[in-house]
Chains A and B, each alone.
Chain A
Amino acid sequence: MSLIMLSSPHAHGGDSIRMIMLTVMLALLPAAGVSVYLFGWMAVLLIVTCMLTALMTEALCLKWMGRPVSTLLDNSAALTGLFLALTLPAATPWWMAVLGSVFAIVLGKQLYGGLGYNIFNPALSARVILLISFPLNMTTWIMPMSASMGAVEPVINLYDFSTCVTLFFAGPGALGFDAISMASPLGYIKTEATLGVPVADALNAYGYSYLDAFLGFEAGSIGETSALALLIGGIFLLARHSITWHIPFSYIVTVLLLAWLFNALNPDQFATPMFHLFAGGLILCAFFMATDPVSSPVTPLGQVVFGVGCGVITWSIRTWGGYPEGAMFAVLLMNCAVPLIDHYFRPRVYGHKHRNES
């Protein structure tokens, strides 16, 4: 046994990075399954492309950096690929999926020094790079279960493999369309709000229903539409003790409180709490993105502060910002604050009267 110095404890609980990452992937299974159900082969193509690219990029990076390529087995790159895929619109072309995965691994993770050293959530930072670089593609939603072009009828069959491969690799032009477009509920009410249309009327015109939003039958990124599937995964993570309640709870409650308060003040201008809860990437971000251990605070109180910050920024961007959805910006912005939060919100140490008293 080539051990020079062994320091206690001489027992270990058996937890490992690989298992933690695997648990999160398992928790994403319902959401991934629903995305395949809703968006057919497009979801499959996106998930496979992103995960494979992420793994390959990680392997190359590790090789170039002279680190053991077996590090790949810690599942973190695969998870990043899966995360990214689930935040992409169904009509994302292949090259954007590949580019996004490369961004996530190289810019989001390895340039900081690899696993554990990144400030920002790699998948989210890649998604934001894509959103800023290709705003049109990244806000082109297609309706689940089919692909409608707004009110016009011609439909792309998402469950037909060859159609999807054509759409994925050659774009909608190859299928005879100039573009496919459908507004997400968040985007729709934002546009309508600028025209002075009350929220309720706009949602009526959109054909919005809370049940559809809860189950996932609405336009959006492939993995974020179904609140139900994400909640199942989130509860699994909580039960497995992979995450604690602090971030998701404080994040969602903050959004709900702000939405409730402003909706009560002026229902015409501000959407209801339930709408905010099921809309966009809130639940995905709250349970999966904001809780990414590397880029979130370690202390319980710090996590609550982090969650509240995410909630305030999410709701503010949705309500007043230029983008319809603010969840991922919120998480990334709060990621920057993590070292500060960790410093100021340490727990009170046993035997000390006050927090941060040494």
Chain B
Amino acid sequence: MPAMVRKLAQRLGMLQHSFVGGVHPNMHKLTADIAIEECDIAPVHVLPMKQHIGEICSPLVGVGDLVLRGQKIARSEGYLSVPVHAPTSGRVVKIEEHTIPHPSGMGLPSIFIESDGDDKNDESRAPISDWINTDPTQLRERARMCGLAGLGGAVFPTFIKLVQDKRFPIETVVLNGIECEPYLTNDHRLMLEHAEEILEGMAIIMHMVGADSGIIAVEDNKQDAADTMQQALDARSDMENVVVLVLPTRYPQGSEKQLIYTLTGREVPAGKLPMHIGVLCQNVGTTKALYDAVVLGKPLTERTVTVSGDALPNPTNLRVRLGTPVRTLFARQGLEDFSDIQIVHGGPMMGERLKNPDFPVVKSSTGLLAMSVQAMKAAHTVEQPCIRCGHCSEACPVSLVPNLLADQCRSDQFEKAAQYDLFDCIECGACSYVCPSNIPLVHYFRYGKGQLALQRREDSFAEASRKRSEARDARIEREKAEKAARRTRVRQTHAPKTDEAKAETAAETGGGAKPAAEATVADSKTVESKD
């Protein structure tokens, strides 16, 4: 339905709210019916020092140290950061840079842990089963110490969101079970297999933020998951204000801001967070991890990963320890030869394409897809001129005009692109998906954002050094003036003296700055006249 008609209908109260734009990609949910399998512990785990959005961690262990599963091996530095834990028991064999899942192929300092096969747990964190009577700040510290970050793929440190702020009281907790990316089914399976734990986690979140209502949002291609959640909800007596809502499948419904609008009819203001409109959104995987952290005392050392793709012989859902090399996961599912394979980390709409499978599973690994060259080529054909069909504008869930933005980014008019709200782009890829000219619009936007950020950083740096230099000049001036004033004072108190003293003063000021010297001359004149 055209956006304008829909908006009009919404105003008249004829329709539920629904985010604008969006697309209906072929979902390829090959693994929807495959239960989560337990993946074997790898011989060596590689743990990058940054698996979240924010500051990089620093290692707490040295080479040769023995570690237990769940032991903190890297400390968070700064506020926007969470620690890293050992995924299994074993020995630290080396600490060096290793490739992380990033399209550039960049690396980060990583801790390599050789498994001893015993998988012994670190029992130092006591379970908090009586969380309902526990202070939310203590639970929040537990979430931070257990290394929780958004497992939907954005890996934003979870504890930051789990806060009670009197200025912005949270009214509604949204449990995000949308999973709108094609191929990915791990949230789907988690809801089917761990509904009770997820609900318990949601109850903990509601207790922590003081929310009194909750919404569990599921797309209608996961009706079974919605039913399971509803049954689990019915079995509880303490969550009457929580509802399960089934939404029509549309990408990118799982995007936080879009989902919040669809559910509440309220938009998160630009530059603000959902908490500013009284909403907290958590992914089901993160919620389950919070349950594990609080009720079981288990830090985040594993996650569910959908291993799939059109070129993978046996797609499945796996519960994988963090740090497991991706190559072994693909090998487990029957893929060893990567010569004609393109690897995607995450979903096909927003995931990163990687050149080789030599990277570990990290907290953001929602999916690992082995795509055939043909499938990738179909999605990345030669760019043709824009014919301004406007399909991108229709598909954009934030109502940008992607073709104009792309023109501006391509011609390096970044400030203009910023005026056209470049930074409101959520990089969902809906525009590129519908573009008949195969223009990699999102790629241009990323380029534009990067260049603009760089430009602004340089500007602010230049501004800062200009201010510094001005401040320095002002200080030198001030010091000179003070010096001169001091001298005048000194001379006034000690004058009139002998001719020797006068000669001394002259010698003293001779090497001084000019204004000071003038002042001295003038002063000595007044002194003389006083005589």
- A interface with B by C-beta (< 8 Å): 1, 3, 5-17, 19-20, 74, 76, 114-117, 244-246, 293-301, 303-304, 342, 346-353, 358
Contacts and interface: CB of A to CB of B under 8 A. Distances in A.
Contacts of A115: 384-385, 387
Task: Give the interface size bracket for B toward A.
Answer: 35 or more
A11 B351 CA distance: 11
B424 interface: yes
Closest 4 CB pairs of A and B: A9-B429, A7-B443, A116-B385, A298-B390
Given A6-B376, A351-B270, A12 B432 contact: yes
Contacts of A114: 385
Contact of A12 (B19, B378, B403, B404): B378
Interface in B430-456: 432-438, 440, 442-443, 446
A307 B25 CA distance: 31
A16 B257 contact: no
16 contacts: A6-B103, A7-B443, A8-B353, A10-B371, A10-B380, A12-B378, A12-B438, A13-B433, A244-B394, A298-B389, A298-B393, A300-B3, A349-B399, A349-B400, A351-B272, A351-B398
Contacts of A299: 390, 393, 401
Nearest to A343: B404
B401 A346 contact: yes
> Main secondary structure on chain A at its contact with chain B?
loop
B420 A11 contact: no
A247 B140 CA distance: 54
A69 to B, nearest CB: 15
Interface of B: 2-4, 19-20, 23, 25-26, 103, 182, 257-258, 261, 267-272, 342, 344, 346, 348-353, 371, 373, 375-381, 384-394, 397-401, 403-404, 418-421, 424, 427, 429, 432-438, 440, 442-443, 446
Given A11-B349, A244-B390, A352-B269, 12 more contacts: A9-B432, A9-B433, A10-B353, A11-B379, A12-B435, A15-B391, A19-B436, A342-B401, A349-B424, A350-B19, A350-B257, A350-B261
Centre residue among A7, A116, A303 by max chain B CB count within 10 A: A7
Given A349-B399, A350-B398, A10 B376 contact: yes
B410 to A, nearest CB: 13
A22 B30 CA distance: 34
A350 B435 contact: no
A346 B399 CA distance: 8
A249 to B, nearest CB: 10
A245 B442 contact: no
A17 B424 contact: no
Contact of B399 (A8, A350, A358): A350
Contact of B2 (A17, A244, A348): A244
Most central of A7, A9, A19, A342 by chain B CB within 10 Å = A9
A293 B387 contact: yes
B350 A8 contact: yes
Nearest to B438: A12
B435 A15 contact: yes
Contacts of B387: 17, 20, 76, 115-116, 293-294
A117 B403 CA distance: 13
B524 to A, nearest CB: 63
A117 to B, nearest CB: 7
A1 B421 contact: no
B379 A17 contact: no
B67 to A, nearest CB: 35
A34 B380 CA distance: 41
B353 A348 contact: no
Contacts of A19: 436
B433 A358 contact: no
Given A1-B342, A12-B438, A6 B353 contact: yes
Contacts of A296: 388
A1 B269 contact: no
A15 B394 CA distance: 14
A303 B389 CA distance: 12
Contacts of B427: 8
B433 A11 contact: yes
B442 A9 contact: yes
Contacts of B440: 7
A299 B21 CA distance: 12
Contacts of B350: 8-9
Contacts of A20: 387, 389, 436
Contact of A351 (B267, B348, B418): B267
Contact of B436 (A15, A117, A246, A303): A15
A192 to B, nearest CB: 41
B348 A8 contact: yes
Contact of A6 (B3, B342, B389, B403): B342
A17 B436 contact: yes
A299 B437 CA distance: 18
Contacts of A350: 19-20, 257-258, 261, 267, 270, 397-399, 424
A352 B320 CA distance: 41
A9 B379 contact: yes
A3 B267 CA distance: 39
A294 B424 CA distance: 26
A84 B381 CA distance: 31
Contacts of A295: 388
B421 to A, nearest CB: 5
The listed residue with most B CB atoms (<10 A of its CB), out of A5, A12, A116, A353, is A12
A76 B437 CA distance: 13
Could you say which of A6, A117, A293 has the most chain B C-beta atoms within 10 Å of its C-beta? A6
A14 B379 CA distance: 8
Contacts of A13: 23, 25, 433-434
Given A17-B437, A350-B399, A351-B424, A116 B380 contact: no
A8 B391 CA distance: 18
A358 to B, nearest CB: 5
Nearest to B422: A358
A17 B388 CA distance: 11
A61 to B, nearest CB: 14
A3 B443 contact: no
Contacts of B270: 349-352
Nearest to A245: B2
Given A20-B389, A293-B390, A347-B399, A8 B429 contact: yes
B182 A11 contact: yes
A298 B420 CA distance: 14
Given A116-B388, A244-B2, A6 B401 contact: no
A352 B373 CA distance: 41
A12 B446 CA distance: 18
Task: Specify which of B272, B421, B442 lies most central, judged by the most chain A CB atoms within 10 Å of its CB.
Answer: B421
Given A13-B23, A299-B390, A358-B421, A8 B442 contact: yes
A300 B2 contact: yes
A300 to B, nearest CB: 5
User: Of residues A3, A5, A301, A351, which shows the largest number of chain B Cβ atoms within 10 Å of its Cβ?
Assistant: A351
Nearest to B340: A1
